[in-house]
Structure 1
Amino acid sequence: MTGPTRTALVLRHDPSIGLGNLEPTLVARGYEVMTVDTPTTDVSALDALAPDVVIVLGGEEAAYETDRHPYLADEIALLRARIDAEAPVFGVCLGAQLLASTLGARVYKGARKEVGWLEVTPTAAGADSPVRHFAGVPAVQWHGDHYELPDGVELLASSPQYPNQAYRRGDWLLAVQFHPEVDDAIHEDWLAAWGDELPEYGTTAEQLRAERASYGPRAGEASAVLLGEWLDGVEARRAAA
């Protein structure tokens, strides 16, 4: 007999910003993936604690624009419930910013967008975390907002432009500013949508495609191992409960 199905709730803000590299790991480990498009869903009606894990993806919205995007306030309420229960949650880019906001930290508009395939440097704590798999592996960055480090978390990685690239609380909350999920299809969607603005940030679509050819396969492998190792901790914690 097979065991009970594990469930992963994915909060998606834009169809072009999906699970990408992360989905095969979830499927291989037996997770039933339920993706919710939050701009068109009543997030307040979701059971915050029912899923085994929640993954919050990126988006063009700003975490501080809850008046403009009321569903973000509902997401923050869902995240608050999970944090209070120490229920596993993984945030990517906007997801990391929403988690930071939920934890009481300031999210703010940065001086300049961070765009490209760029390295993040693990901290001492990060060297003993799933984020270490991105040491020396350039990851996709594409953001203009950032956040102060929340109280009660460990900083796991930094970059020269934005210092708080990854953080965790215990073995159940992990957040990354960079984009481990970005595969070739997602990257092409972004280049088509926002390629015209790239010269402003010192790069071009052609340059980013060349970087993807060089770094994409390694980043994809690092992404799978990062998520898998985090899930190892989540599942071990559940088994011990």
Structure 2
Amino acid sequence: MKAPLSVHYFQHSAGEGFGSCYDYLKQMGANITATEFFALPPEQNIEIEALPKVEDIDLLIVMGGAMSVNDEVHYPWLKTEKRWIRRYLAMGKPAIGLCLGGQMIANALGAAVSPNPEQERGWHPVYKVENIPESCFQMPDQISVMQWHGETFELPKGAVRLASNAACTNQLYQIGKNVLGFQFHPEITPRALQLFLDNAEMKPAFSGMYVQPAHELKQMSAAQFQAGNQLMNRAIDYVLAQSKLRE
């Protein structure tokens, strides 16, 4: 009998959980574990040996968070997390980064993360980049997604940009056939959005033309959330299929 899929996720903020990923992966019969970095005192480091062995993980999902990937002085465990991510990716295993998670993967591979010219918070469209190779993960031509970021990543070496919009050039990238890094939140659910809104650390001073007020964020229909969730499910299927873990 084939062993269940072993999925591990890195969680950086108490108010930013696993979203729609949990139910979809449980439907596959996956074993899901987590490292809750937010539970550590900010100044506490963590030894890399305290994290799971990279050999034991079949799929890594790096979640979002309120801090910057550059905040290593205040969150020293960020260095350890990046080291672990590099080890994991060196084995060619599948990984998905979401918002801060996409920035973490990019930064772990040497790409800069810095303030974006525009802050984004709310439902905004992103657009598929033209002339993407057919072998790459295929976005819809346009999809409205939840954004919640003030910084953004440069593309890691060898990455392919898959999506963009007027506010932020790099919305989704792919590395090889097993890594996807999102700037937005396809995993968001109504409950997850409420956690975002209720959690004080998720409320930095957003401003600008791409920032929606809280009451507007909650006015979207269930179909709005489902479109992103379906994209997330497809992303999981894609990286697993490319790694041949689902054969």
TM range (shorter): 0.7 to 0.9
1:181-206 CA distances to partner (integer Å, 9 max, x unpaired)? 11011101222335795676542222
| Whole-angstrom CA distance in 2 between matches of 1:65 and 1:168 | 25
Percent identity over the alignment is 25
* Structure 2 residue aligned with 1:5: 4
1:212-233 CA distances to partner (integer Å, 9 max, x unpaired)? 5562232223322332233222
Task: Find out whether 1:208 has 2:214 as its counterpart.
Answer: no
Gaps of 5+ in 2: 41-45
Gaps of 5+ in 1: none
* Structure 1 residue aligned with 2:48: 44
1:28-64 CA distances to partner (integer Å, 9 max, x unpaired)? 2221000110244636122233201111000011011
* Structure 2 residue aligned with 1:63: 69
RMSD between aligned residues: 2.3
Query: How many residues get paired?
Result: 236
CA 1:82 to 1:92, structure 2 compared with 1: closer, same or farther past 3 Å? same
TM-score normalised to structure 2 length = 0.86
Task: Find out whether 1:85 has 2:91 as its counterpart.
Answer: yes
In the TM superposition, what are the counterparts of 1:1-241 in structure 2 within 5 Å?
2-40=1-39, 42=46, 44-45=48-49, 46=51, 47-123=53-129, 124-125=131-132, 129-133=136-140, 135-193=141-199, 202-213=211-222, 215-235=224-244
TM-superposed CA distance for 1:154, in Å, is: 0.9
| Whole-angstrom CA distance in 2 between matches of 1:61 and 1:126 | 34
TM-superposed CA distance for 1:117, in Å, is: 0.8
1:168 aligned partner, one-letter code = Q
SS in 2 for 1:62: coil
* Structure 1 residue aligned with 2:43: none
TM-score normalised to structure 1 length = 0.88
* 1:39/1:71 contact within 8 Å kept: no
Higher helix fraction (1 or 2): 1
| Whole-angstrom CA distance in 2 between matches of 1:212 and 1:144 | 25
